[in-house]
Amino acid sequence: MTSQAETAGGVGPQHQSRTLAYLVVAGLLAILTAMEVWASYIHALRPILVPLLVVLSGAKFALVVLFYMHLHYDSWTFSAIFLPALLIAVIVVISLVALMVRFFAGF
Partner 1 sequence: MVALPKEITVEESYLEGGGLWGWLTTTDHKRIGVLYGLTTLVFLLIGGIEALLMRIQLARPDNTFLSAHLYNEMFTMHGTTMIFLVVMPVGLGFFANFIVPLQIGARDVAFPRLNALSYWIFLFGALVLNAGWLANVAPNAGWFGYANLTESYYSPGLNIDFWTLGLLISGVGSVMAAVNLLATVINMRAPGMTFMRMPLFVWSVMVMFVLILVAFPPLTVGLIFLMMDRFFGTHFYRAVAGATPLLWQHLFWLFGHPEVYIMVLPAFGIMSEIVPTFSRKPLYGYPVMAYSTALIGFLSYGVWAHHMFAVGMGPVADSAFALTSMLIAIPTGIKIFSWIATMWGGDLKMKTPFLFALAFLIQFTMGGLSGVMHAQPPIDLQQTDSYFVVAHFHYVLFGGAAFALLGGLYYWWPKVTGRLLDERLGRWNFWTIVIGFNLTFFPMHIMGAEGMPRRVYRYPGDMGLNSLNMLSTIGAFLMAFSVLILLINIYKTRRRGAVAGPDPWDGRTLEWSIPSPPPAYNFKNIPLVRARDAFWREKYGYEQPPTAAPAPAAAQAVEHIHMPPPSLYPILIAAGITMTGIGFMLWPRIVVTGLVLTVFSAIAMAFEYPEAGAESEASIGPATGLDTRKVGIWCFIGSESLFFASLIATYMIYKGRDLVGPTAETILNVPLTTTTTFVLLMSSLTMVLAQDAYRRTDRTWGLRWLFVTIVLGLIFLGGQVYEFASFYHEGLTLQTNLFGETFYTMVGFHGAHVAIGVIVLAVLAGASLAGWFKVRNRDVAVEAAALYWHFVDIVWVVIFSVVYLMRAIAKA
Partner 2 sequence: MSSASIRAAIHTLLAGVFAALLSGCDPRRFPGSTFAPRSDMAHWVEAVYFEVIGWDGLILILICVLVFLCLTRFSTRASEDQPKPPPPHPEYLGLEVAWTVGPALILLFIAVPSLRIVFRTQQSAPPTNALIINVTAHQWWWQFDYPSMGIHTANEVHIPVDRPVRFLLNSTDVIHSFWIPAMGGKRDVVPGHVNELTFTPQVTGEYIGECAEFCGLSHANMRFRVFVQSRVAFDDWRANQAGGPRLPTGGPARAGEQVYVTSACTTCHAIAGYSSGYIGPNLTHFASRTTFAGSTLRNTPQNLAAWLENPQALKPGAQMPALGLRGTELNDLVAYLESLK
Partner 3 sequence: MEDLHPSVIIGVLALAALYIGAVRASGRRVTPFQAAAFAGALIVMLLALCGPIDELEDDRLFVAHMAQHLMLCLLMPPLLLLGLTDWMVRPLLLNRWVRPAARLLFNPLVAFLGYNAMLVAVHGPRLYDLMCRDDAVHITIHLVMMAAGVMLWWPLFSPLRELPRLNYPAQILYLFLLLIPMAAVAAPISFATSVIYPWYLEGPHPFGIAPLADQVAGGLLMWVGAGFYVICVATLIFYQWAQRDDCDDPVVRRTTDLRAAKSH
Q: Radius of gyration over alpha carbons of the chain, in Å?
A: 19
Nearer to partner 3, 10 or 106 (CB): 106
| DSSP notation for 23-67 | HHHHHHHHHHHHHHHHHHH-GGGGGGHHHHHHHHHHHHHHHIIII
Q: Which is nearer to partner 3, 37 or 89 (CB)?
A: 89
Q: Name residues contacting partner 1, limited to 51-90 (CB under 8 A).
A: 53-54, 56-57, 60-61, 64-65, 67-69, 74-75, 77-78, 81-82, 84-86, 88-90
DSSP 8-state symbol, 45: G
Among 7, 50, 77, 107, binds partner 2 (CB under 8 A): 107
Site membership for partner 2, residue 105 (CB under 8 A): no
CB nearer partner 3, residue 13 or residue 106: 106
